[in-house]
Amino acid sequence: MTSSYRLGDIILQGVDDNNTTSEILNEHPQSIGSDYILSMNKKNYLNDRVECVTQIILIHMEKYSKLFPPDIGNSTVVHLRLGDAVGGNYFYERRLRPLDVSYYQLVIPQGKVYVIGKCHFGRRHSSPNYEECTDLSNRYMMHVLKTLGAKHFDGGTADIDLCCAIKAKHFVQGKGFYSKLIVEVRRCLGLNSIETRSHNFEIMD
């Protein structure tokens, strides 16, 4: 249920804890995160974290191209921050509550909409009320899907979900560094994103 693999944190904040680095390399081999760590250690790229990870992501996108919806290039992808941020009690979790669906209704272009997002709990930094957070996350996800007429895309890993968001015609940013990373990579590739700020969060039954 918990994981050390937080891709946005790895790239945008940096990984300077040897234990975390070892966990990522051991538990997530051949992932975008582990490839990034190894590439930076070998100094194969200029000291530009986003440019480095963008090149790795492009390789993953080509490798797993058959996993993406065939219409993804003409669709919008929305990222939902789920898990600890939905119902956790720590300050940073409350600060990262997901966006209210009414905001998405205002900014999403017409057309097919896919939603990415899974419950995530950091191994060291998440509140332990996992069942409550999971229940709230599921209710929030269903509310968003129903309201937007969207489809949930689950690529199985955070890496595949991120690649799907990069391939989309439009991307709507959620909360946290994972979503921010998608925005930065799309910017590096000359792709636009709908960047979001703070909006009230509400779950409807």
Tokens 């017409």 found at: 110
Spatial strand order in the sheet of 119-122: 2-3, 119-122, 82-83
Ordered by start, the domain boundaries in the chain are 2-65, 67-188
pLDDT at 205: 43
Q: Give the largest CA-CA distance in the chain.
A: 51
| Cβ(196)–Cβ(105) below 8 Å | no
Query: Region 54-67: what's the mean pLDDT?
Result: 96
Closest CA relative to residue 7, chosen from 184, 188, 177, 183: 177
The model's confidence at residue 90, banded by pLDDT at 50, 70 and 90, is: confident
pLDDT at 47: 53
Q: What whole-number percentage of the chain has pLDDT above 90?
A: 58
Task: Say how many C-beta atoms besides its own lie within 10 A of residue 86's C-beta.
Answer: 25
Which residues, 6+ apart, have CB-to-CB distance to 117 below 8 Å?
79, 80, 81, 82, 141, 152, 161, 174
| Cβ(150)–Cβ(144) below 8 Å | yes
Taking all residues of the chain, what is their mean pLDDT, rounded to a whole number?
A: 87
12-29 pLDDT tens trace: 887 665 557 888 889 999
